[in-house]
Structure 1
């Protein structure tokens, strides 16, 4: 009886909560226990509940109450993969996408997940091989492991999954080759393997067995050889992307032992050969991208007969004509065929039957007229036809295309006048008509183009005067109309162009006096070229009020009078007042050999030191006698000085390192100092910095007025892949590239020396040092928000110039706050291009490096793991710099644990909020602006490269942060483009 009594009491007593929860609930609690949940997103997972069916993101079967789905995307969960979830027998859906799961997937992890249908572990930090045990989940239909760090080969066993419809392994570190056995997945609809460093191999022809396939995404997979014809059997395919293939690493050394070329031919090419036959069977195809390969032959007519929406075949070796059937597609909105060898005309009805938005066929051999109905549907935005042979007039119908934003017709054979409507298109921001035979006047209708930022008309036959209405273009940044027949005065309204940076009106017939009375608006002009015209009157003293003027060219005009002494207030790198009627003295700042050629051809200018002495009205005979005796005396003096100099130099040369001589110096600007003097003044007492590539010295030259920064590179020269022992000419070519750059936000390289054993780079000296020094030093109090914002915009403009206006584009590869230098006026300039590891020749695609270049904390994730480098790596690094400016914190700090600044900011925003991220020394009244810059920084540091903005977009976003702080000058800063191998197509894709 006593026993029964105890049992009765137990029955009345409530059971412990943990015993009342279902087994599925206990498994979920176990999974939560092993995960870090900084957002407390799983707070509803209460152990006191009797069932997990009411918990957040948990779904149960309505009849049995068994857990069928656990969906936890974007919850910021971290820790190892919770394998215990696979013990939930009824689980069919598991979604842990976009978290921070950071372990390997063990072979037994999925042994119990026998009923899974949907598995999404994308955008995490999972590492190691893809487990073979996944092949045991016979019910699996959707497998997404993209955006992780999985390595090794794709398990061939995955081909045994009978129900699989989606296989997404994009953006991992997978090697080996694409298994041909994947052709057995007959239920597959989406096969996405892009951006993995596979071994060079062909596309398996067995993929042609996937008759249900709708998406085939194999971009950046090191694919080589021909596209197999068997793919034409895939009638359900809607999207094919084979872009940017080819080898991203080096050809293995052992392959070079083969004597027969065809044995290694496979490993030298990207996708090559002709496009596959039988494409007419692919009746569902809408998007086809095989760009940046080495495809040859012609564009198949059967491909152009398909109802395509987008056709990208740019940067190949295609020939022949564009089939006219492409114009009949009712869906076509994008056509990119630039950088091929195509000929013939564009179809006359192109755009008539489709919502065409973007055409780029630049760098081909197209001819004929521009199709008149290209904007018939009214959705057309970009017309890019540069470097072809198009002729005839610009269609008048383009003037009715109000949606147009960019028109680039450079280097064609177009003639006639530009339709009035084209001048005044309301959304047009770029009108590039350079190097044609266009005539007529600049229409007054241009007042309607209120969004125009770049007006490029040089090398045509435009005539007449520049209309006053040009002063209504509030957003105009660049106005280039050189080498035309323009006449009359420069309209006074030009002074209203507050955003104007670059003006080039040289080689015209413009006349009259220059009047810059309202110069206050022209605060951003850096380059002004009015040479080879008929201007008269005096040189305006108001020019001295241009605060950032960098180059001034007024040569070959009829200016008279004295040179304004106020011009000394300018910090000019280029000045040319030659061949005018100027008289009087040269301003003392410019009275040196560096500027001598800037004043020749002015009979009234007198300066004995420069040999310009025709200003005192003496008789010719006396002048000639005086010149004769002076020349003789000067020759004697020069001879004596020369002998003494040679002897002195001979003795001093022995004290310098072997091989260092004047003959090995190369200058990139007019120098006001001796290069040889630089080498003599290097001493350890003058070291102001050092790094992996060498030491930096501050050198005050003997005249006491010139201060330079000299970087002495250590070790042997390196090539673009970071390999030691590259040839001397590689070093010379790289510094020549850097030496030709002219941009206000890039540190100026004065000259360099390469003697084989010693390499010196002489830069302009930046008094305020690096941004990193300012952020962590005593000068941090000087960095208020307005100054930090200005530094951000300056640095963005410098990088944008490298990415979009240099040909070939330059990827810096070591963007960091230490390499952003600040001058005395807190103008920021990008520095240290790491000449020994500088990257050139990258166009549109991705190049692989054999070693990682960059600094820890700034290196983009995909670069650190794959060594694939493109401009997106720079953008990630610049995003880190923006986060430094906002937070005042370094990229790496013990406080972050194993994380870095990017992850720390993300974590703090999620848990503590914005106020705990912003540097507390910044004024709170700028909180909104700071948050916008922070947003740009986070956008730049996206873990997925394709989602990061271009530098051109970054500049635009930063410009839009505020209207109170002076905005940046332009996307390219209005500076001299470093285009010395042809035009770049990098700017076409922005």
Structure 2
């Protein structure tokens, strides 16, 4: 009997559920996992058969206790989703909990944290999707908390006053939420704080509380992008342990307090992108720990302090885009650690210190857009670390130092628009890592050295507007990465080397206004990426190579002003040319049929041997021409007389027919209403007469688009919208609000938009049956059509970069300079149009809304698939951040060359595909392979801007004005010539409605 009982007990034990062997902490963790979605199976090793969870992913136990107990749970970056799991807080000895970089959503109710043990000191829920207010019970629930990170969520409302009662909190990070109200001064009660990070929250305009000086243990104060106003409190300079001070991207005014130079522990001080004024205080040389100073993009003035360069560890000094004047102090040459020196866009003058760089490991030097003079210091690369030397738009003179010809670390050199002269050192031509060498707009002489064959990474060689002579060396044929060679307006002689046909990456070749001769090489068929060829005003002879017609993306061809002979190859008809000029040569024979029309007449002038149907091109003496014309007149007269009787019989009927038709047209035309937004050189009747099917260039659900060539030779685009005003409720004419209740107010706003990067609406014609919108004509169509077709080769990286910058400036005008602001709501590549020079205009305002203050709710989702911001899709609330997300997608299109939605992505869109590919395969699998790697660094920077704009969290998206600055920072030398700073035009230049003069918003 006893044996049977033992057998039953053993059998029962063997068949008990294995989870009964797991301790209570393991059971809590399993219950927590049940409330979470784990698509990546990151927690697959959480095995209920284990006795303890101490070996599970993310779990750390204390080894000191006889029975191991869970002290830390770190489930960061595992792709988990779902609400916050309160069972984690039941672990009795938990001291650290991190769920960062997941998709934890819903709110964070106080009840979910109340079970957490008093031993919890570290709580990190950053980079999730939590919403609602911050839990006000946190300080009382977690009295031992020393580290609280709730960054990059969607928390709203104010910071609760209870947050000032944390007894032991050392780090508080609320970066990148939707917190509003004012920046609270009560946080100064947290005297134990060492880190206070509140950046990128939409606080209402707030001053920096002077009481923050009470936080005497603070080492990090990060308040960037907090809508701060007013002056910087001088009392911040009394914080003895402050190492990182970031007050950037606010609206702070007043001077830089001299007390900041007393921050003896400071490592970096960042005050950029504010409206600070006055001089830069002295005394920073006494801060022995200081490594970075960034006061750029303010209105600081006066001279540079002598000691600003002398903090012993200073490696980065950014003071660009201010109003600083005077010379660069001699102390700049004594900066022992200085690597980055960016002083561009100021009013600095005088020579540079003669031994600049002699003691400093300079790597990035940008002194562009100043009034600096004298010679380039020969010591600037003495330490052998110099990578970028940007000195454009100054008054530097003398020659390029011989020492720069030995600076093998250089990658980018821009010396354009100075007064430099003499011969360029041979070694300078052949630096192995330089991708951009720009010497344009100087007085250089001598020749291009054969040593240029060593410049294996060279992508752009820009030496126009100098006095270079001699021949083009055949060694240039070894530059396998060369994309652009511009040497116009020089004194180059000799022939084009046959070796140039080896340049498979060549996209632009501009050699006009030189003394080159010989024949154009016949091997040009290898230039498959060539889009621009300008050999005008040289001495080339022989025939035009027929192989030019095989170049797939050539759109600019100028061979004028040479001595070319023979006929025009028929193959040139294969080209889609925006610029075509063969004038002033010695060409002969008939014109190809495609070019035998008056529109191309100016392309062939000055070639006596050409003949065709185009007036003004046929050869012959003046008398012969008169005789020929007289014969033609006689024949035509005879023919006219022979048919006169027949015509007379029919003409009466035709006259009656057209008289009746014109009468009907006059009646119909009287029913059209014209609303003009500019001074017009045409009438609505001229537009109406050209709306036939031969002029259709596009069509859609709302109607058709016509190209109309006016009597003055100009072209306009006419969008014809069918249906009544009521039927057109969602179409563009009605969303320009020409028919709704707000007609006058909306026309007063949208009809007066004047910006160089927004397509111009000339006028609107309305009729009871259809409506017409008359726009400026954009010959290169839409960015989307060009980018996602076989014509994408027309868009090299510099062109794409410029398109992104143009479109950003247009949207920035809508968001920041229109009062009230305008949200486009349908930003996409198909709504960015390109003019004849590939400059971009934002177009199609059919869904645009004037939003006034705060987000505006819409009744339906508007926009295009792949471009719609996530929060817009599920809240129907729209503000400027919705446009910024869409623009981020456009940037990703430009960098990747891929459309926003593609079967290749599966269920992902372009944004998710880019993020996933970057993580799994790296950057090179994202960049458009057609662009090559010559501009890889710029492309990577622009890609990061696109991802920043396309962030899931609206608060993380920069403003469009900030996007413009970020794009300019990618390549400051590409700053538009229309930008106004110290007397130069602003990027927000637009045409005034009442005059031909420019105005600035």
Fold conserved between structures, TM > 0.5: yes
Partner of 1:924: none
Change (3 A) 1:724 1:621: closer
Q: Which moved more, 1:162-171 or 1:460-469?
A: 162-171
Partner of 2:995: none
Partner of 1:922: none
Q: How does 1:74-113 map to 2 (within 5 A)?
A: 74-113=77-116
Say yes or no: does 1:70 pair with 2:73: yes
Structure 1 residue runs of 5 or longer lacking an equivalent are 248-267, 634-639, 668-673, 740-750, 773-786, 823-828, 840-846, 892-899, 919-932, 950-970
Partner of 2:843: 834
Equivalent residue in structure 1 for 2:700, among 683, 689, 697: 689
Say yes or no: does 1:375 pair with 2:381: yes
**Contact 1:314–1:339 under 8 Å retained in 2:** yes
Deviations 1:741-770 (A, max 9, x none): xxxxxxxxxx97666984234566999997
Structure showing greater Rg: 2
Partner of 1:509: 515
SS at match of 1:469: helix
Say yes or no: does 1:163 pair with 2:189: no
CA distance in 1, matches of 2:748, 2:127: 39
Q: How does 1:556-635 map to 2 (within 5 A)?
A: 556-607=561-612, 609-615=614-620, 618=623
Partner of 1:131: 135
Equivalent residue pairs, number:
845
Equivalent residue in structure 2 for 1:867, among 880, 883, 890: 880
Change (3 A) 1:362 1:862: farther
CA distance in 2, matches of 1:540, 1:277: 66
Give, in angstroms, the shift of residue 71 of structure 1: 0.3
Change (3 A) 1:161 1:317: farther
Partner of 1:149: 154
Equivalent residue in structure 2 for 1:658, among 673, 686, 698: 673
Deviations 1:251-282 (A, max 9, x none): xxxxxxxxxxxxxxxxx974555556764564
CA distance in 1, matches of 2:89, 2:191: 27
SS at match of 2:373: strand
Partner of 1:546: 551
**Contact 1:311–1:336 under 8 Å retained in 2:** yes
CA distance in 1, matches of 2:765, 2:100: 55
Give, in angstroms, the shift of residue 473 of structure 1: 0.8
SS at match of 2:516: strand
Q: How does 1:447-596 map to 2 (within 5 A)?
A: 447-515=453-521, 517-596=522-601
Deviations 1:884-913 (A, max 9, x none): 33536576xxxxxxxx78669989999xx9
Give, in angstroms, the shift of residue 235 of structure 1: 5.0
Deviations 1:335-379 (A, max 9, x none): 222223333343333333333221222222222322322222222
Structure 2 residue runs of 5 or longer lacking an equivalent are 253-272, 639-650, 652-656, 722-731, 739-744, 813-823, 926-939, 959-969, 988-1001
Q: Which moved more, 1:203-212 or 1:879-888?
A: 879-888
CA distance in 2, matches of 1:335, 1:768: 37
SS at match of 1:535: strand
CA distance in 1, matches of 2:371, 2:811: 27
Change (3 A) 1:901 1:978: closer
Give, in angstroms, the shift of residue 800 of structure 1: 3.4
Give, in angstroms, the shift of residue 458 of structure 1: 1.2
CA distance in 2, matches of 1:677, 1:605: 36
CA distance in 1, matches of 2:497, 2:619: 36
CA distance in 1, matches of 2:364, 2:913: 40
**Contact 1:555–1:577 under 8 Å retained in 2:** yes
Partner of 1:961: none
Give, in angstroms, the shift of residue 428 of structure 1: 0.5
Give the TM-score normalised by structure 2. 0.72
Give, in angstroms, the shift of residue 293 of structure 1: 3.6
RMSD over equivalenced CA pairs, Å: 5.3
Give, in angstroms, the shift of residue 73 of structure 1: 0.9
Deviations 1:268-317 (A, max 9, x none): 97455555676456442222333334444444445433232222233333
Say yes or no: does 1:222 pair with 2:227: yes
Partner of 1:36: 37
Give, in angstroms, the shift of residue 123 of structure 1: 1.4
Deviations 1:592-629 (A, max 9, x none): 23222222233333446433344357458869999999
Equivalent residue in structure 2 for 1:363, among 359, 369, 392: 369
SS at match of 1:344: strand
Partner of 2:901: 884
Partner of 1:242: 247
Say yes or no: does 1:715 pair with 2:737: no
CA distance in 1, matches of 2:955, 2:444: 39
Deviations 1:412-470 (A, max 9, x none): 22222221111101011001112122222111111110111111111122122211111
CA distance in 1, matches of 2:81, 2:784: 39
Give the TM-score normalised by structure 1. 0.73
Partner of 1:760: 774
**Contact 1:698–1:708 under 8 Å retained in 2:** yes
Q: Which moved more, 1:181-190 or 1:146-155?
A: 181-190
Partner of 2:727: none
CA distance in 1, matches of 2:889, 2:614: 51
SS at match of 1:518: helix
Change (3 A) 1:883 1:217: same
Q: Which moved more, 1:619-628 or 1:460-469?
A: 619-628
CA distance in 2, matches of 1:666, 1:384: 46
Give, in angstroms, the shift of residue 83 of structure 1: 2.6
Give, in angstroms, the shift of residue 477 of structure 1: 0.6
CA distance in 2, matches of 1:272, 1:849: 33
CA distance in 1, matches of 2:304, 2:167: 37
Change (3 A) 1:428 1:328: same
Change (3 A) 1:107 1:875: farther
Partner of 2:641: none
**Contact 1:432–1:454 under 8 Å retained in 2:** yes
Partner of 2:120: 116
Change (3 A) 1:566 1:116: same
Q: Which moved more, 1:8-17 or 1:390-399?
A: 8-17
Give, in angstroms, the shift of residue 714 of structure 1: 2.2
Give, in angstroms, the shift of residue 59 of structure 1: 1.3
Give, in angstroms, the shift of residue 731 of structure 1: 4.6
**Contact 1:295–1:317 under 8 Å retained in 2:** yes
Change (3 A) 1:96 1:806: closer
Partner of 2:322: 316
**Contact 1:232–1:278 under 8 Å retained in 2:** no
Change (3 A) 1:687 1:851: farther
CA distance in 2, matches of 1:612, 1:646: 40
Change (3 A) 1:339 1:627: farther
Q: Which moved more, 1:492-501 or 1:127-136?
A: 127-136
**Contact 1:453–1:476 under 8 Å retained in 2:** yes
SS at match of 2:583: coil
Change (3 A) 1:395 1:334: same
CA distance in 2, matches of 1:838, 1:459: 47
CA distance in 2, matches of 1:234, 1:172: 27
Deviations 1:189-208 (A, max 9, x none): 33333322222333333334
Give, in angstroms, the shift of residue 536 of structure 1: 2.8
Change (3 A) 1:175 1:806: closer
Partner of 1:45: 46
CA distance in 1, matches of 2:247, 2:571: 60
SS at match of 2:674: coil
Change (3 A) 1:177 1:100: same
Say yes or no: does 1:55 pair with 2:56: yes
Change (3 A) 1:38 1:325: same
CA distance in 2, matches of 1:409, 1:544: 36
